[in-house]
Structure 1
Amino acid sequence: MRSIFPGVSRSMTVMPPNVVIKLVDKKSNKRNAATLEVVDTVKKFVEAHDHGRITEMINFLITEMTDSENLDRKKGGLLGLSAVTLGLTTEAAQHLQQIVPPVLNAFSHQDSKVGYCACQALYNIAKVVREGIIEFFNQIFDALSKLSAVPDADLQGAVYRLDRLMKDIATETDLFSYEEFIPLLRERMLVLNPSVRKFLIGWITVLDGVSDSPILDYLLDFFDGLFNMLSDISDEVREQAHSAIARFLQEIKCSAVRFLPVDYGRMVKILALKAACSDELTRLTAITWINEFVKLCGAQLLPYYADILGAILPCISDEEKIRMVACETSEELCAISFDPAEGFDIGALLSIARRELSSAWEKTRIEALSWIATLLEKYRAEVICGSFLNVLSFLNDIFDTLVKALSDPSDEHFQMVLLALEVHSSIARDPQHFHHLFASLCQNFRVDNSLLEKRGALIICRLCVLLDPERVYRELSTILEGQTDLDFATIMVQLRGLLKQSLVNAADKDLFVSLFYCIFVIVCDLPLQAYQHASFVIQSLLEEDMNIKFLVQLEKLIRLLETPVFAYLRLQVHSLQFVYSFKAQF
């Protein structure tokens, strides 16, 4: 009879030819019969302590069958190796280095039927040796993760059974090494295939469920990858990832209660990036984590406040759920007070807030401006005197934002105006910045007349509340003194209501004189009792064209002079001791 394996003598094999033939048969009943014969043969060798013959049998199955290009021989060899293991039972451990590698090699075969046979074979092997298979765990995990992406129903069934068995073994033994496993897990977390991701989440969840599992200590190794799964195309993957992430957050909160160390800073760095993700679930989850971290350990996050603020501000304008969490987080963070000497980087926070002033979203701009106002209020000395901030440039940036918002009638823009003025006033408390504010303000009033008419009174009134009214008027007087634009010089007429309200209770007549002198050019000498010059100025108006606009402004001026505030001036004008007062009067 000719050998079924050319070049291999029948006398050289420890396996009967009929067994070999049955192993490669297409009928399952014949293959099962061959398996039982191999098991019985191996058991006899074990009883005889003849491990040499067992080794020969294993070598034959590998070299003549599993290494063969013929698919039937390859599958028969895998079946034979699992049968050998079943026959070895408790003696199998000493032969695993021979048996397992060729089975693992078959996992990567392009034919899914070979992969199926490999899974079945390894399942039988692992079931016999149990924790003895742990030394091959990483190779098995890697092979299973790759096979989980193959769209073959039979193969996936075999993968599932082997995966369940490996999870049971890994969670029952102390031989499982997290240190060796985590680097492989971190690498596989980069895979985008939804089936592979489900496989990975399954392992993370199982290991996390083990009592006293140290997996939380390794969270940062796969934290980013797990968050990426929140935006997966598969709803099932998204749900599983979200569930796993939620459990980890609860564990971190429990760890904080027990004062166990958690690297919040590195996680915040990752979360800040995820809060800017295009996926809504990812943003909500990230901002929720940040919110919990601020509540748990606000002080520990001091070096990462800028990262947190950079994540919060854009989310202020997000959909409702995200916006509510972001607003709460912003309030929590803002309520924490620190000594700048302890390393609190105010400049970094201001830079983030200033950046968000150019946001396309109104709510974000308002929150950013609110943060700037708060920081200037709490740490004004450090901000104004600090080398990290060019205050004049900062003032210009804020003022540009104010100017854009001033003409808009909406309530939100009105809030922007008030906040911007609050920031301006905080900076302008210093003399070197006070003049810059009002010079810029007057320039914008002069260029944009509608701005003056619509919001001029509001701006001046608010600045009077935030700053010293007398100081405000004197500064405006100084700036307007050199104005040659008569229309613009009537600014105080446009703000006559503000003028009367602010000056009724003023005790210092010098303030009246200074204010009146610089604003009303045509009668600038009256309060100074320079009636001769006033008379000349008024007479010179006869040479000018008296248009409707001029007459309207003149009427407003006359009505203003008739108010009780200027009673003293009218008495002087009627006094006989002033010759030119009559000329000015008439």
Structure 2
Amino acid sequence: MADALSVIPASVLRNLSDKLYEKRKNAALEVEGIVKQLALSGDHEKISAVIKLLAKEFTYSPQANHRKGGLIGLAAATVGLTSEAAQHLEQIVPPVLNSLSDQDSRVRYYACEALYNIAKVVRGDLIIFFNQIFDALCKLSADSDANVQSAAHLLDRLVKDIVTESDQFSIEEFIPLLRERMNVLNPYVRQFLVGWITVLDSVPDIDMLGFLPDFLDGLFNMLSDSSPEIRQQADSALSEFLQEIKNSPSVDYGRMAEILVQRAASPDEFTRLTAITWINEFVKLGGDQLVPYYADILGAILPCISDKEEKIRVVARETNEELRSIKSDPAETFDVGAILYIARRQLDSEWEATRIEALHWISTLLDRHRAEVLCFLNDIFDTLLKALSDSSDEVVLLVLDIHACIARDPQHFRQLIVFLVHNFRVDHSLLERRGALIIRRLCVLLDAERVYRGLSTILEGEADLDFACIMVQALNLILLTSSELSVLRELLKQSLVNAAGKDLFVSLYASWCHSPMAILSLCLLAQAYQHASAVIQSLVEEDINVKFLVQLDKLIRLLETPIFAYLRLQLLEPGRYIWLLKALYGLLMLLPQQSAAFKILRTRLKTVPSHSFNGDQLKRASSGNPYSQILHYSGSQITEDGNVRQDNGNLQNGINFASRLQQFVQMQRQHRMLEKSQEQSQARSSSTLSKEGPEAEESRGPQTSDSNLPPSRSSRRGLG
């Protein structure tokens, strides 16, 4: 300190802390001259003493004017040292850097000015302080004082020039500092950061692309800034990096893909579009590198397929197709389970387009990696079944395609049918809204006979008799009306002369027993007219109610459709089809005379050629054409206990019709017993409520008694 005081006059030191800028400036010029003379003489010890004096007594002084004088003095000393300044920077720069965060804005301004002048002298030697300078400039870029901001901008430009021409700059040391500040929201800081990224990326010897994952998320964050200028700057920087990626042979696609996936879900439209555009390029360029990230990428793409912005939808669809076209081996880190998880999750999307593409992915995986997908079947099966209730027909059809693909294996076919029946049971609305669509499509995809046999087997042993009746009615209606089941109808028409037809008839009969109208429809379709007549004769009083007659009305109207044209033509030969005529008259006798169905059927029967039917005609008809329906029940009757009295003559092509009738009668007895039980429960419940009065009913709250059960079975039996 004494050495410094011996070379710097007291008047100079006094003026250096004067409140007037001109006096401080003149004092600094004198310091510059003194230091220059010391440098020429090589007296670096005294130079260090002068710098120490300026730092300790001035820049760290509590007096603002002293601090200002110290800063201008340090800058002057640096100018005096010129080429010798480098060896004293460890003393000169730290006090100046400290002053950049001074509470006095004028001190901060002079600190910027001082560092600017120092940098002009030492240039590249200042690089060793780069991180500290960058940190200070980052804060000053958002300074509350406009003059300080302006001074900081000048300093910033000079430092950028120094860095771009230096070969000592360490990008590895700088990146952590940059990454730490990339999520700052201040617009001035953001502009500052983007400016530095752009400048450093323009330097050929600095590999910013290699460190892009470290600050990529921050750049994407700026795309949603409220300032159009910042958004534009961030977009320009990203566009430049994307172009570099396209021209670069090796890029860390994986780390960046993770960032892009997150940004593709941004609430900001511009950010989403940019992210999905990058993902699109990555899928095209990344190839095998992206295999471990396919699931994450798909998770980003699928929601964007339904984006409200058309540009995003277009790019997302293109990316989706590109990704699906890449064929990867599960042995090569391709995670089938992860892809399935994403697809399954997107089946809950509110957007139809996304759900459809998710199903396309499941279908694609089944096609390419069937064994692996089946390993995860338990994870996705319930979701696929729920999708059958989707509001979109296209979704339902795609789901059915997938189910059919899975059900190619017998065990999975059985699982599908069981789960399908279960879903129909727990959700009757699904059966009403989607039943026909689902069954018809499965019949096309999996063979109608196979589907109907499988369903019939399950329904035969169905414990919920109400549901079994509803389900059978639905299946019967589909069988009678759907073009997809025309082959099945043709096979059933040959039940009495064809072994395959007989097997199908017997298979369906067991479950069709749940509905009298379904059984009658099946018999008429199979041309088992004598048995149809026997079924009609077996009906008891409890079966004939309003709901039953409604179903009968539907059957009569169906008999007038093209499907039953063969039956109407057979009425031209009443002597040959005596049992058909008897069955139709039996139906007519069940109908009220005032009903429209009665008039329709009576009108049809009036067109039958008038013949007398004696015993000889009956015998000739039964011994003629093998299609003849004149079957010999040989006196089989319904006994008083409801059973069928059988004899050995009741066989046609191996079908024991007497046994079948016994099966039908027993099933209907079960239905009637359940109906009576339900009616008794309802009656008891009503009686209890009546005795207790409305107050008791209110105090008890909502009831879950049998009175809340679905309508009785007799009201449900019929065609459907």
Q: How do 1:515-530 and structure 2 match up within 5 A?
A: 517=509, 518-519=511-512, 521-522=515-516, 523=519, 526=523
User: 1:481 — aligned with what?
Assistant: 460
Residue of structure 2 aligned with 1:509, choices 492, 496, 501: 501
1:453 Cα offset (Å): 5.0
1:23 Cα offset (Å): 2.2
1:352 Cα offset (Å): 0.9
User: 2:16 — aligned with what?
Assistant: 23
2: distance between equivalents of 1:581 and 1:289? 83
Residue of structure 2 aligned with 1:298, choices 277, 281, 287: 287
| 8 A contact 1:205–1:244 mirrored in 2 | yes
2: distance between equivalents of 1:564 and 1:528? 11
- The structure with the larger Rg is 2
User: 1:5 — aligned with what?
Assistant: none
Distance change in 2, residues 1:581/1:344 (3 Å): farther
| 8 A contact 1:435–1:475 mirrored in 2 | yes
2: distance between equivalents of 1:186 and 1:444? 53
1:177 Cα offset (Å): 1.2
Q: How do 1:172-211 and structure 2 match up within 5 A?
A: 172-211=165-204
| 8 A contact 1:357–1:401 mirrored in 2 | yes
- Local SS of the residue matching 1:81: helix
Residue of structure 1 aligned with 2:299, choices 304, 310, 315: 310
2: distance between equivalents of 1:11 and 1:317? 75
Distance change in 2, residues 1:568/1:265 (3 Å): farther
| 8 A contact 1:358–1:365 mirrored in 2 | yes
Residue of structure 2 aligned with 1:266, choices 250, 255, 259: 255
- Which range moves more in the overlay, 393-402 or 203-212? 393-402
Distance change in 2, residues 1:572/1:149 (3 Å): farther
Q: How do 1:345-356 and structure 2 match up within 5 A?
A: 345-356=335-346
Distance change in 2, residues 1:164/1:393 (3 Å): closer
User: 1:53 — aligned with what?
Assistant: 46
| 8 A contact 1:272–1:311 mirrored in 2 | yes
Q: How do 1:394-433 and structure 2 match up within 5 A?
A: 394-403=380-389, 405=390, 408=391, 413-433=392-412
Residue of structure 2 aligned with 1:68, choices 57, 61, 71: 61
Cα deviation digits, residues 312-339 of structure 1 (max 9, x gap): 1122222222222111111111111122
User: 1:83 — aligned with what?
Assistant: 76
| 8 A contact 1:493–1:553 mirrored in 2 | no
Residue of structure 2 aligned with 1:289, choices 238, 257, 278: 278
1:26 Cα offset (Å): 3.2
Superposition RMSD in Å: 3.1
Distance change in 2, residues 1:494/1:534 (3 Å): closer
2:360 aligned with 1:360:
no
Percent same amino acid among aligned pairs?
A: 56
Distance change in 2, residues 1:10/1:46 (3 Å): closer
User: 1:109 — aligned with what?
Assistant: 102
Task: Please list every run of 5 or more consecutive structure 1 residues that lacks an aligned counterpart in the other structure.
Answer: 1-7
User: 1:498 — aligned with what?
Assistant: 482
User: 1:549 — aligned with what?
Assistant: 550
1:498 counterpart letter in structure 2:
S
Residue of structure 1 aligned with 2:326, choices 325, 336, 346: 336
2:264 aligned with 1:275:
yes
TM-score w.r.t. length of structure 1 = 0.88
1:102 Cα offset (Å): 1.0
| 8 A contact 1:309–1:352 mirrored in 2 | yes
2: distance between equivalents of 1:310 and 1:450? 32
1:482 Cα offset (Å): 4.1
- Which range moves more in the overlay, 520-529 or 427-436? 520-529
1:176 counterpart letter in structure 2:
F
| 8 A contact 1:573–1:581 mirrored in 2 | no
2: distance between equivalents of 1:542 and 1:128? 115
| 8 A contact 1:207–1:213 mirrored in 2 | yes
2: distance between equivalents of 1:205 and 1:494? 71
TM-score w.r.t. length of structure 2 = 0.72
1:250 Cα offset (Å): 0.9
Task: Please list every run of 5 or more consecutive structure 2 residues that lacks an aligned counterpart in the other structure.
Answer: 492-497, 581-620, 623-629, 638-720
1: distance between equivalents of 2:551 and 2:3? 124
- Which range moves more in the overlay, 456-465 or 209-218? 456-465
- Local SS of the residue matching 1:214: coil
1:415 Cα offset (Å): 1.2
Distance change in 2, residues 1:529/1:368 (3 Å): closer
Distance change in 2, residues 1:505/1:18 (3 Å): same
- Local SS of the residue matching 2:455: helix
- Which range moves more in the overlay, 467-476 or 128-137? 467-476
Cα deviation digits, residues 449-496 of structure 1 (max 9, x gap): 665455433322221222122212222332333464445432244222
2: distance between equivalents of 1:224 and 1:487? 58
| 8 A contact 1:36–1:83 mirrored in 2 | yes
1:180 Cα offset (Å): 1.7
- Local SS of the residue matching 1:578: coil
1:545 Cα offset (Å): 2.3
User: 1:321 — aligned with what?
Assistant: 311
- Which range moves more in the overlay, 306-315 or 357-366? 357-366
User: 2:646 — aligned with what?
Assistant: none
2: distance between equivalents of 1:346 and 1:567? 58
2:264 counterpart letter in structure 1:
A
Cα deviation digits, residues 9-62 of structure 1 (max 9, x gap): 899342122222332233333333222222222222222223233222212212
Cα deviation digits, residues 181-225 of structure 1 (max 9, x gap): 122222222433221121111111100011242111121222222
1:97 Cα offset (Å): 1.4
- Local SS of the residue matching 2:350: coil
1:540 Cα offset (Å): 3.0
Distance change in 2, residues 1:344/1:487 (3 Å): closer
2: distance between equivalents of 1:75 and 1:434? 88
1:344 counterpart letter in structure 2:
F
